[in-house]
Amino acid sequence: MENCIFCKIIAGDIPSIKIYEDELVYAFLDIAPINPGHVLVIPKEHHESASTIPEATAGRMFRIGSRIGIALKRELDYDAYNLHLADGAAAGQVVMHAHLHVVPRGVEDNFHWNWRQLPYADDAARAAVAEKLIRRLANGPQNND
């Protein structure tokens, strides 16, 4: 994909610090880490959204992301890690080549996701939301429309 910064990284046209590579995925250090060791795992094939990544590649991204998380704990003494993927600009996606963040975390690393927890208006409102999602998903796992 022309003009995609992550495709250029995979091609070697833009430098990166590679952590892992196989036939499906490429993993490298994020240039501006939340904590040192923050890694990005990307599909070698260009996909803007995670929703179009073939299942084998998406599975590999998650598996390698987890293995990198374990490596961060064992080798760099972190306590835990977050796997994070922003799908779409409104979700915070800046680079439009899907990528899984592996964010190393320490008990006192002073980083907060600002996770909020809103109530539903009532049970009917909650049920209506669930019903829409269930109907869509009943069309099968490959339905990404």
Residues that bind ligand AMP (CB under 6 A): 5, 14, 16, 30-32, 40, 86, 92-95
Closest separation in Å from C-beta 107 to Zn ion:
36
Shortest gap between Cβ of 97 and Zn ion (angstroms)? 3
- The single residue of 38, 47, 97, 99 carrying the catalytic annotation is 99
What is the spatial distance between Cα 85 and Cα 76, in angstroms, rounded to a whole number?
A: 23
Nearer to Zn ion, 13 or 122 (CB): 13
Tokens 């250090």, located at residue? 29
Q: Is-catalytic flag, 38?
A: no
By CB under 5 A, tell whether 7 contacts Zn ion: yes
Name the minimum Å distance from CB 80 to Zn ion. Answer: 30
Phi, psi of 65 (to 5 degrees): -60, -45
Which residues are 41's β-sheet partners?
27, 100
User: Over the range 114-135, which residues count as b (16 or more CB within 10 Å of their CB) and which as e?
Assistant: eeeeeeeeeeeeeeeeeeeeee
- State the residue number with the nearest CB to Zn ion: 4
Binding site for Zn ion (CB under 5 A): 1, 4, 6-7, 46, 97
- Catalytic residue positions, numbered: 99
